[in-house]
Structure 1
Amino acid sequence: MNQLLSNIPLQISNALGSLPYFVPEVYLAVLFIVVLLTDLFYGRHSAWLCRIIAAGGLLLVLSKDIAQLQLLRFGPRFLFNDMMLLHQSAVSFKMIVDVFAIILIIFFGLDGKLKKHSKGLSDLYTIVVASVLGLHIMIMAVNLLSTYLAIEMVSLASYLLAAYRSENGFSAEAGLKYVLFGAVSSAVMLYGISLIYSLTGSLSYFNGNLIDGLMAANPVMVGMAITLTLVGIGFKLSFVPMHFWVPDVYQGAPTAVTAYLSTLPKIAGFALLINFLTPFVFFAKWSAFDFRLFLSIIGIISMIVGNFAAVWQKNVKRLLGYSSIGHTGFVLMAVATFSQQGISSLLFYLAAYAFANVAALMLASYLEEATGADNVDAYKGLGFKYPVAGVCFVIILISLTGLPVSAGFNGKLLVFSSVYQSYEQNHNVWLLILMITGAITTVVSLFYYLKIPLNMFLRKSESVNPDNIFQSNKALLSISVFLTFMILLIGIFPHFLADLF
């Protein structure tokens, strides 16, 4: 007891010393309270005010993220007794999350189906701000406890967002499926964490006895514990076999929520995966679990399942859902390099993917509200009725496929380059198989991505009502045009984005 009391001043001093490096997260916590109180005081008609406060607050948080780069000029910094680690890659991940959180908050306010919600959207903005705080913690977590708490924080927000339109049966069903799969993956991950703690007596990735304890334990138990722990991370990344929830949830959730689920948790999930892998990869004597083999197999299967399943899809959101599984498998290629170049290419690819994926779902929402079209066959002839949306959609799908000249092409080129460089250094056959699979599945993706422009421009239109366009859709289209411009800009001048990482 006396020893515990003597440690209290040290713990307080450590926490206070960590606060200057935790400023964006403090701002997010304050922003959450402000948005919540705004909703309470102004009622259901405060959605527009909550949206302005949330977007403006996130801009301020983004500026604080940028300011953190100056604090890290002397190197990475452990925070709150080694619960979190702040470094330059973590700041880059947080910047990407905050930029797209702002874009998505605007998207939420323009989504026609969400705007019809009887309770309004004020609660939704509160949930999003809380989820961004959880995403920040996910990105910096280097302790199994902080990892689990961050994942649960983001998961709870995601459940609420997926089922936000509870009056809609399809949306409610999607939310329920998400909750059930999430609860199971959470329980499995918690069991894996408990096994690791029982084997090592430590929860910290970089300090304590975690690596040494696992090296001394039974390899079978170690493999089981690590695999079960990776289940929770895999649920956020939606790689195979933790992908079952993706198609139904992406299709059933409001389109703006689908854009959120397919980008922000995935970006933070990759940062979390890198944090988890780092101590094992750079421990020279580690041999109890082959992470490169594990990631390679998961990446190969995810690319094959995601891309081939997408070929048969008719619903646009479901198609993009399966394609996101394929993109996850492709990004795992960069992670499997275990190199700084791999992390840089991963950051570039995730940003390029987020631009294209959010823009694609915005245009899908725009066309659905304008014409009622929600599947590929219903897009016939829409390219001539809505030429701006049609041309933007083609450019966005070119980027998602990875064709020149687009941000997606540069992203895929950087990933392939990092994997090839790693292969030249160690001649690991799994890296070669990953590159071959990535090239083949990129060709396969042409078959389903190009179905949309094929129907929009090369097939005759059927019965559509082009007059039923909401006023807000013009703003939605304008944002889509801006995102398309960014895709082309990064495709022609990739250094604008690459220099950030």
Structure 2
Amino acid sequence: MHDLLPHISESLSHVFGSIRYFVPEVYLTLLFIIVLITDLIFGKRSAQLCRTIACAGLVLIMFKDLQQIALVVDGEHFIFSNMLLVSRIGIFFKLSIDVLSFVLLLYFTWDNKLNAHQKGLSDLYSITIASILGLHLMVMAVNLLSIYLAIELVSLASYLMVAYRTENAFSTEAGLKYVLFGAASSAIMLYGISLLYGFSGSLDIVFQSSIAQLSKVNPISSSFAVILVLIGIGFKLSFVPVHFWVPDVYQGASTPITAYLSTVPKIAAFALLTNFLPPFMLASSWRGFDIGIILSAVGIVTMIAGNFAAVMQSNVKRMLAYSSIGHTGFALMAVVVLTLQGVSAITYYLLVYSAANIGALALASYFTNETGAEEVEHYRGLGLKYPIASVCFVIILISLTGLPVTAGFTGKLFVFSAVYAVYQQTHNIWLMLLMITGALTTVVSLFYYLKIPLNLFLKRKEMPEISGIKSMNLLILSIIVSFMLILLGIFPDFVLRYL
């Protein structure tokens, strides 16, 4: 017992020394407790108060994120016995998550169907804050145990968010499907983690010593274990073949929840990939399969499956669900090269994609609130009746497609540039196939993204009855998003200078 005392003191000193790098997450934990207690005390009447507290708390947490930058000037830091990693790019990922989550918290009450929920939205705010905490942990996780716990925290919160509208049978069905697919992917990932731990004898898989231990194992076995873990991460990213849940869940969930699930968890999952993959892709001691080839094949299939399936959709949310799968495949291009330029490109691309996707779904909510339109065909002739919203929709869809002069074009250009720079050095055929597929599927995306402008402006029908409830908040949000997409497309340095 006495022999352990020095180690206990050393461990406690390390924990206390790590807390200053963990301040935003501490504040998120406190914010979750405050919002939860507020809900318990005031009940259904607490929705507006919980919303105010959650939004104010997120603003404070953004400020704490910015303060962390000064702590990583001298380089990245491992904290809590190498469980988490604090780095400059990780802080930017967390800041992006917090900014987008702040917008989404405001958006929740602007959707008439979600706002009319009989239980109120106070529970939803506490669930969302818990999810944001999990997303922060995903961005920082570098230990197999912390990776699993972070993903599970986000997954549990996501299940509750999808099935929040319990009076809606479609939403309940979507939540059940999400839980079943999530449980299966979690079990697969946990099995992969157990194999990696058994092979290496350590949960700190990002260190060379662990990779050296894995190199002593049969390459097929170690590669199989890594692939199982990637399947669990891929569930949050929704790349092929773990994408089957996306269309039904995105369509069945409330539109603001769809906006949440299609953006911020993807940012956190890609950040997790950039932490998890380097030892397996860059270390000379790794003897398993070429992970880059596997990810390239997955990226190609994901781009093709997502974009071609989206062409056949008539429901707006379902179409955007398949398009998000296609965008995941495109973003994997930058992960495959895993250079500093590639990480900067994927960070910028995910930020502008998330902003555009939130804008598109906000406009879907706007037209549903105003006219009840949910199918693409329902948008016939609405362009002249709602000119500002329709023009914003066109700008946002142009950005999602990746056409000049929007931020979507600049983001895709950065990704192509990062991949091409590596291709010039290696002449890897898989990188060439990725670039060709990315270019061709961008053309394919025109066929479904332009369906909405086509119906808005070029097709006519009798005007539907207009709702007496005006969704001005959604309209203002869409105008801001459209302006930002054009501004960042022309001046990308506003973001790139901080990467």
TM-score (norm 2): 0.98
- What residue identity is the alignment partner of 1:364? A
In the TM superposition, 1:239-258 aligns within 5 A as: 239-258=239-258
| Partners of 2:266 and 2:495 in 1: CA distance | 19
In the TM superposition, 1:377-392 aligns within 5 A as: 377-392=377-392
CA contact 2:44–2:120 (8 Å) conserved in 1 = yes
Q: Which position in structure 1 is the counterpart of 2:489?
A: 491
- What residue identity is the alignment partner of 2:101? A
CA 1:496–1:330: 2 relative to 1, 3 Å: same
The answer to whether the aligner puts 1:470 opposite 2:479 as a matched pair is no
Q: Which position in structure 1 is the counterpart of 2:413?
A: 413
| 1:372-429 alpha-carbon deviations (Å, 9 max, x no partner) | 1101111100111111110000000000000001010000000000000010111111
| Secondary structure, counterpart of 1:470 in structure 2 | coil
In the TM superposition, 1:335-350 aligns within 5 A as: 335-350=335-350
| Partners of 2:332 and 2:208 in 1: CA distance | 28
CA contact 1:201–1:209 (8 Å) conserved in 2 = no
The answer to whether the aligner puts 1:291 opposite 2:291 as a matched pair is yes
Q: Which position in structure 2 is the counterpart of 1:41?
A: 41
| Partners of 2:380 and 2:140 in 1: CA distance | 46
| Secondary structure, counterpart of 2:78 in structure 1 | strand
Give the gaps of 5 or more residues in structure 1. none
| 1:151-192 alpha-carbon deviations (Å, 9 max, x no partner) | 000000000000000110000000000000000000000000
| Secondary structure, counterpart of 2:240 in structure 1 | coil
| 1:14-34 alpha-carbon deviations (Å, 9 max, x no partner) | 110000100100110011111
Q: Which position in structure 2 is the counterpart of 1:446?
A: 446
Q: CA deviation at 1:114?
A: 1.1
CA contact 1:190–1:229 (8 Å) conserved in 2 = yes
Stretch of structure 1 that moved more, 261-270 or 490-499: 490-499
Q: CA deviation at 1:279?
A: 2.0
| Partners of 1:316 and 1:414 in 2: CA distance | 28
CA contact 1:202–1:209 (8 Å) conserved in 2 = no
| Partners of 1:350 and 1:422 in 2: CA distance | 20
| Partners of 2:287 and 2:238 in 1: CA distance | 27
| Partners of 2:482 and 2:17 in 1: CA distance | 43
- What residue identity is the alignment partner of 1:479? L
The Cα RMSD (Å) is 1.1
| Partners of 2:468 and 2:494 in 1: CA distance | 36
Q: Which position in structure 2 is the counterpart of 1:270?
A: 270
CA contact 2:334–2:418 (8 Å) conserved in 1 = yes
CA contact 2:207–2:279 (8 Å) conserved in 1 = no
TM-score (norm 1): 0.98
| Partners of 1:314 and 1:4 in 2: CA distance | 65
The answer to whether the aligner puts 1:159 opposite 2:159 as a matched pair is yes
Q: Which position in structure 2 is the counterpart of 1:316?
A: 316
- What residue identity is the alignment partner of 2:389? A
Q: Which position in structure 1 is the counterpart of 2:95?
A: 95
CA contact 1:97–1:264 (8 Å) conserved in 2 = yes
Q: Which position in structure 2 is the counterpart of 1:178?
A: 178
| Secondary structure, counterpart of 1:461 in structure 2 | coil
| Secondary structure, counterpart of 1:78 in structure 2 | strand
Q: Which position in structure 2 is the counterpart of 1:113?
A: 113
CA 1:305–1:90: 2 relative to 1, 3 Å: same
Q: CA deviation at 1:209?
A: 4.0
Q: Which position in structure 2 is the counterpart of 1:126?
A: 126
Stretch of structure 1 that moved more, 211-220 or 273-282: 273-282
Give the gaps of 5 or more residues in structure 2. none
| Secondary structure, counterpart of 1:31 in structure 2 | helix
| Partners of 2:180 and 2:443 in 1: CA distance | 35
Q: Which position in structure 1 is the counterpart of 2:430?
A: 430
| Partners of 1:69 and 1:97 in 2: CA distance | 16
CA 1:34–1:400: 2 relative to 1, 3 Å: same
CA contact 1:143–1:204 (8 Å) conserved in 2 = yes
| Partners of 1:333 and 1:206 in 2: CA distance | 22
| Partners of 1:29 and 1:305 in 2: CA distance | 39
- What residue identity is the alignment partner of 2:30? V
Q: CA deviation at 1:462?
A: 4.0
CA contact 1:161–1:257 (8 Å) conserved in 2 = yes
Q: CA deviation at 1:2?
A: 5.1
Q: Which position in structure 2 is the counterpart of 1:238?
A: 238
- What residue identity is the alignment partner of 1:71? L
| 1:306-352 alpha-carbon deviations (Å, 9 max, x no partner) | 00000000000000000000000000000111200000000000000
Q: How many residues were matched structurally? A: 499
Q: Which position in structure 2 is the counterpart of 1:280?
A: 280
| Partners of 1:16 and 1:158 in 2: CA distance | 31
- What residue identity is the alignment partner of 2:480? F
| Partners of 1:111 and 1:18 in 2: CA distance | 41
Q: CA deviation at 1:286?
A: 2.0
| Secondary structure, counterpart of 1:33 in structure 2 | helix
- What residue identity is the alignment partner of 1:276? F
| Partners of 1:192 and 1:209 in 2: CA distance | 19
Identity %: 59
| Partners of 1:9 and 1:113 in 2: CA distance | 54
CA 1:181–1:469: 2 relative to 1, 3 Å: farther
| 1:109-161 alpha-carbon deviations (Å, 9 max, x no partner) | 21111111111000100011111000000000000000000000000000000
| Partners of 1:208 and 1:397 in 2: CA distance | 44
CA 1:192–1:445: 2 relative to 1, 3 Å: same
CA 1:178–1:462: 2 relative to 1, 3 Å: farther
